[in-house]
Structure 1
Amino acid sequence: MVDPHTVQRWLHRAAFVAISALALFIYILPLHVGMGRWPGPDPILAFALAWVLRRPNWIPLWLAAPVFLLCDFMFLRPPGLWAALCVIALEFLRTREATSRDMPFAVEWAMVGGVMLAMAVVYRAVLAVFMVDLTSLGLVISGQISTLIAYPFVVLMSASLLGVRRLTPAEADELRGQA
C-alpha cells in the first residue's frame, strides 16, 4: 500500500506543475494591448516561494529548475540565469524553513521581499556585466512589487484551496527521520 504522505507529496508536485503551466499559458496569450501597463506578478515564483517555506519537500530542486528554465525559454530571457537565481533563492529559503516556521507572516513577507530584491539586483548586475540590453529599472521594480503584493493572496489560496500549511513540529521530526 502506498504511504498517504507520498501520495500527498506527489499530488502537490503535480499541482505545482499544473499551476505553472496554467500561469505560463495565460502569460503567452495575446491579451496585452496598448502601452504603459503595470507588469503583472510572477505567480510561479510566488507559489514556489510560498510552498518552499511551508512544505520544503514538495518542491524539490529537480522539479523547480526545469519549470523556471522553461519559463526562461518562453519569456525570451537569457536561458538559465533567472532559473538559477530562482533555484538559489528556493534553496536559501528551504534552509530557513525551520526558523521561519514560528515567524509571523509579516516577517516572512519581508524575508521573501528581501530575497526577491536580491534576485532582481543580481539578475540586473549579471546582465549589465555581459552588456545585455536591460529593461527599465522602474519596470523591473514594479514587477517585483506586484509579485510581492500578490504573495499574501498566493499564500492564502495555497492554504485554503490546496492545503499547503506550515509544517508542525511533529511533521518536521518525521521528515528529519526520513532524510
Structure 2
Amino acid sequence: MYELQAHLGPASESEGVDKEVEDEDYQPVVQNGTEEVVITSGVSTLSSVVSHEIQSQQNNLQLGKLRQETNRLLEELVQKEREYQLVLKQCLEQRNHDLHLLHSKSSPIDIPQTTVPYASHDQATDQELVNWLRELGAADDVVNQFVEEEYTLYDVLHDITKDDLKSLRLRGGDLCRIWKAVTKYRKDNNPAGVDN
C-alpha cells in the first residue's frame, strides 16, 4: 500500500494522514472458520425457519384438504349405508309379502267331510270290511283309507302284512288294533299251525 501511495503520491499531506487513520480504523479482520459458520448458520437458520414455516403451512393446508376429503368420504359412506339399509329393508318387506302371498295361495283347502261315508267311490265297497273295521273302533278316515285302496275283508284277514298297514299311514292305535285282530284271526283259523 505504501508503494502505491509513493507511486501515486498524496495530493496533500493531510490526505495521507487521514488515509493512515482510516487504514488503522479499517484493519482487515482475521476471520476464522467459526465466525463464518455462525454468520452462515444465522442466514441458514433464518432461511430454514422460513422454509419450515412455509413447509408447515403447506402441510397444514394439505392436512386440511385431507380432512375435508375424509369427511366428504365419510358422509358419502354414511349416505350409502343408509341407502343400503333402505334397499335391504325393502327387499325383506317384499320377500315377506311374497311369502305371505305364497302361503295364502298354498293353504290347504278345508273340505268338509261327507256325511255319508264311501258314497263318492265308484268301486263297490266291501261292506263286511267296513263293518269289521267299525267293530274294531276304526274312525271314518281309517275306513276310507281301506276302501280307497280297494281292500276286501278277505284280503285284510288273509293277505295283508304289517308293512301294508304301515303304508296306509294309520295312527299307532288303529294300526295295533287292526294288526292284533288280523293275527288273532289267522291264529284261530290256521289249521295245524301252518303259516300264511
Q: Is the structural similarity TM-score above 0.5?
A: no
- Bigger-Rg structure (1/2): 2
TM-score (norm: length of structure 1): 0.24
Higher relative CO (CA 8 A, sep ≥ 6), structure 1 or 2?
A: 1
TM-score (norm: length of structure 2): 0.22
